Amino acid sequence: MPAKRALIMHRDDNVATAVEEIQPGDEVAIPVAGTVLALRATESIPFGFKIALLDIPQGDIIRKYGETIGKASLAISKGALVHIHNLEGTRARGDLAKGGKS
Amino acid sequence: MSFLGYVRSDGSVGTRNYVLVIPQGIIAKSICDFVAGTKSILTVDHGSGRTANDREQIARLLIGLGRNPNVASVIVHAASPGVGYPELRAERLADEIAASGKRVEVLDPAKDSGTYGAIVRGIQLARMMVYEASKLRRERVGDEHLCLGVKCGYSDTTSGIAGNPAVGYLYDKVVAAGGTALFGETTEIIGAEQALARRAASPEVAEAILRAVTIQEERAKATGLDIRTVNPVPSNIKGGISSLEEKSLGAIHKAGTALIQGVLKYAEPPSRKGLYFVDNWMGHLSIFAGYAAAGANVVLFQLGGGGVAGRTLLEGSPSVVAPFLWATANPKTYAAATDSIDFYSGTVIDGSETPEEAGERFYRTVIDIASGTLSRSETLHYTEPIDMYLQEPRF
């Protein structure tokens, strides 16, 4: 079966965006600067959702477009889905500004 | 390149040729119901009980719409509840619009035999004004006369990958040709403001971008809410966007790569050509009328739609006098709403077009619509009400 496609927006990113429906166990091919990064999805990654390109420890920065899009609220393993269950935005957080309330 | 437009006496160029009747109300509505080729604004807020800043904002919107190059001539009526305030006097609005060289007529029920009398006189005037406007012919003009405004909405991850980059290509091309391009949505640059500030034409502009973000972020924090319960909105999250920062970093791709010449207020016209950031709010019923008042002669809604797939869009134009285009890069959105979409760039995702090829095609679509081809939403009579971006309390 041909590898499923995902796109990386910047070479420093640690996530890529699925442009096909990806099933657990699927091989995923990500074009990066003339070569292709291959990894195996461990979970379903719907079209338009993000897949972790490497293990991301809890609290580490998640990067897309070469910029920070949030931090890992849980440890994320390579090939896993990255979304609101394990990625936490850090900007404009009124709940955090009030101190401790979450 | 070039397009076919209506050259106005002040040198600006319209893509349409309307007679505008303002402000809203029974007089404007009755004239527009009766006379072809007219436009009015539909909104519930007439300025009564508003602060001076907000009244001035309303005035700026109305004056700006009147001065928009897509407007041939204007009727201003004095029957609005807000008209007693100095900012919103009919004569003041009329004078500032007339300074652009356009014909402006004022209707006043106190002088025109009441509301019925004002309606009758307005219909008579509007018929002659539309007739006169119809004598003007389109002429071939350069792209420096294009002024675009954009918002991205129902964003999903196709917006950042293929939708907004196509807009960015178009924006770069129009700015390089000497035209004007407006983008905004201050909440949606939170997390991407440093990337934008690096593109400011001067340190003052960089500071103004960062200041707009700081004010908006402090406002968000003051609510005590987790912003993620508000923005990204549920359809964004359903479309794969995980944080406000991710949304912002995708959103700024629509601004291309040109230098940012300044930061404008809602409905404020730029003083020169080039790319401008507008400190406005994302709502599509708010933002597009503001762009039109700033002088935009074509406006674009770059749509993700992943979170609202299955909806056939049939919304009318919320930009009053500027032709309004829908664009998407999401194949599901396009399949669901092909009738309503003016431009599709999902080809970049499936690899059948490069972003540059899609951007060129987008540019040609905009040129066609600027030259008179109807946008899909213009084929509808339906007009959206306008939600003016007013920020101060009412009393």
Beta-strand runs (E) in B45-198 = 71-77, 103-107, 139-142, 147-153, 180-183
**Model pLDDT for residues B120-152, shown as the tens digit of each residue:** 999 999 999 999 999 999 999 999 999 999 999
Q: What is the pLDDT of residues B208-265, one digit of tens each?
A: 999 999 999 999 889 888 887 888 888 889 889 999 999 999 899 999 999 999 999 9
CB contact under 8 A, A69 and B243: yes
Query: Which residue in the set B161, B226, B250 is minimally distant from A93, CB to CB?
Result: B226
Which member of B157, B195, B217 has the closest CB to residue A91?
Answer: B217
In CATH, the number for domain A4-95 is: 2.30.130.110
Q: Do B245 and A67 touch (CB under 8 A)?
A: yes
Q: What is the pLDDT of residue A53?
A: 97
Q: What's the complex ipTM?
A: 0.92
Q: Nearest residue on chain A to B224, judged by CA atoms?
A: A94
Cβ A17–B250 below 8 Å, yes or no? no
CB atoms A68 and B250 under 8 Å: no
Residue B309's pLDDT is 65
Which member of B191, B195, B226 has the closest CB to residue A94? B226
Cβ pairs A/B, distance under 8 A: 104
Q: Which residues of A touch B226 (CB under 8 A)?
A: 93-96, 102
d(CA B131, CA B14): 17
The set of residues, in sequence order, having a beta carbon less than 8 Å from that of B98 and lying 6+ positions away, is B104
Residue type, B93: L
Residues 6+ apart with CB under 8 A from A15: A50, A51, A52, A53, A62, A63, A64, A69, A82
Distance CA A81, CA A49 (A): 7
Q: Is the dihedral of CA B196, B199, B201, B204 positive or negative?
A: positive
Query: If residue B253 lies in a helix (H) or strand (E), which one and from where to where?
Result: none
Name the H helices within B223-375: 234-238, 244-251, 284-293, 331-336, 347-350, 355-370
Q: Name chain B contacts of A6, Cβ cutoff 8 Å.
A: none
Structure tokens at B216: 């908006």
| Per-residue pLDDT tens digits for B165-191 | 999 999 999 999 999 999 999 999 999
Q: What's the whole-number mean pLDDT along residues B31-55?
A: 95
Nearest alpha carbon to residue B2 among B144, B185, B214: B144
Instruction: Return d(Cα B317, Cα B39) in angstroms, integer.
Output: 11
What pLDDT, on a 0 to 100 scale, did the predictor assign at position A98?
59
- By the 8 A CB rule, do B225 and A102 touch? no
Other Cβ atoms less than 10 A from the Cβ of B219: the count is 14
**Closest approach of chain B CAs to the CA of A8, in angstroms?**
9
pLDDT value of residue B231: 84
Strands B2-7 and B13-14: antiparallel
Question: What confidence score (pLDDT) does residue B115 get?
Answer: 96
Burial of B315 (0-12, 13-18, 19+ CB in 10 A): middle
Residue B33 and residue B40: Cα distance in Å, rounded? Answer: 10
- CA dist A74 and A51 (Å) reads 15
- The closest CB to that of A49, out of B217, B222, B240, belongs to B240
Nearest Cβ partner of A69 from B156, B245, B306?
B245
Cα B269 from chain centroid?
12
Closest CB from A64, A89, A94 relative to B223: A94
Site from B243, B282, B353 to mutate, A interface, most A CB atoms within 10 angstroms: B243
**What pLDDT is recorded for position A40?**
97
Which residues of chain A neighbour B221 with C-beta distances below 8 Å? 92-94, 97
Q: Which residues of B touch A64 (CB under 8 A)?
A: 246, 249
Please judge whether B245 and A91 are an interchain contact, meaning their C-beta atoms are less than 8 angstroms apart.
yes
Contact B243, A89 (CB under 8 A): yes
State how far the Cα of A61 lies from the Cα of A71, in Å rounded to an integer: 4
pTM score: 0.93
* Residues in chain A within 8 Å Cβ distance of B242: 50, 69-70, 82-84, 87, 89
d(CA B127, CA B131): 6
Beta-bridged to residue B236, according to DSSP, are: none
Distance CA B151, CA A31 (A): 30
Q: State how beta strands B103-107 and B71-77 pair.
A: parallel
